[in-house]
Structure 1
Amino acid sequence: MEKRIIKAGVPETGGPFNLCVRHGDMLYVSGLPPFEEDYCAQLRAARARGEPPPPFPDLPFERQVRIVMDHLKALVEAAGSNMDCLLKVIVWLKDQRQQEAFDRIYRGYFSSAEALPTRTRMQAGRTPMDCALEVEAIGYVPQPPAATPAA
């Protein structure tokens, strides 16, 4: 089995990692902060010039959650899977008081309560660029049903 890097148009910071790797039927998604392409471009440019990173934009918490979850969904689907095939999710919140707002949005990315993956949620001491959250995941790519032999 070879390792495949999954690209899905999700903005990248130019850091020393890949956002999503598929190995066999397993998926590994790096911690995803709520970075949109404009901010990632500024971050890459600052790194290239050897300058400090730009400040993270002041985005509402709910917007940050949707950015992260949309990016997670895009990566999982680009790998040939879906959100219901996630097995483990780890969530770092900058402020645990936002857990209920996070959970309301998070649940909407899965088809049912039974499809929810295992999850760890913790308060981060510090998140990338002081954003509100970061989410990472492990999942699998479902196998197509086996063809039934003709009778």
Structure 2
Amino acid sequence: MKKIYQIPGAPAPIGPYSQAVEVNNTLYISGQIPIDPKTGKLNDSSIATATQQVMNNIKALIETAGLDMSNIVKCSIFLKDMNNFAVVNEEYAQYFSSDAPARETVQVSKLPMDVDVEISCIAVRF
């Protein structure tokens, strides 16, 4: 059975996708960008602020599914500029107390709404 999740109170996705989909106890979280779900506007005054917003969006989706951040097993980080890696890494690390998930970080030429960071995740219901 497939279950769809959306951040409570968030605007609907701008394209034909779901924010998160759970199948067979695995939650697939679509790439999150720094959109504030309350306002629908970008929260990207700095790369640190943008990363915090992205991670808060992921956390909201995880919690909506009845999980927590320790259920995340894999993340993919997409950066417009790899020079931002250290700052993104520092902010990202604050969301995992131990046993951080597997991940990769890649530089890409462009992201939706021309943001600087996008992160997707996979979580498992243990």
For the pair shown, the structure with the greater C-alpha radius of gyration is 1
The structure with the largest strand share of the pair is 2
Structure 2 unpaired stretches of 5+: none
Q: Is the 2:2–2:23 Cα contact (8 Å) retained in structure 1? A: yes
Identical columns (%): 31
Q: Is the 1:79–1:141 Cα contact (8 Å) retained in structure 2? A: no
Report the 3-state secondary structure (helix = DSSP H, G, I; strand = E; otherwise coil) of the residue aligned with 1:139.
strand
Normalising by structure 2, we get a TM-score of: 0.90
The structure with the largest helix share of the pair is 1
- The counterpart of 1:105, out of the listed 91, 116, 126, is 91
Number of equivalent positions: 124
Normalising by structure 1, we get a TM-score of: 0.76
Report the 3-state secondary structure (helix = DSSP H, G, I; strand = E; otherwise coil) of the residue aligned with 1:119.
strand
Report the 3-state secondary structure (helix = DSSP H, G, I; strand = E; otherwise coil) of the residue aligned with 1:67.
helix
- The counterpart of 2:115, out of the listed 131, 138, 148, is 131
The 2-side partners of 1:99 and 1:11 are apart by 29
Paired position in structure 1 for 2:4: 5
The 2-side partners of 1:63 and 1:80 are apart by 26
Paired position in structure 2 for 1:34: 34
Paired position in structure 1 for 2:15: 15
Q: CA deviation at 1:39?
A: 3.9
Amino acid of the structure 1 residue aligned with 2:6? K
Structure 1 unpaired stretches of 5+: 41-55, 143-151
Measured on the aligned residues, the alpha-carbon RMSD in Å equals: 1.7
Paired position in structure 1 for 2:79: 93
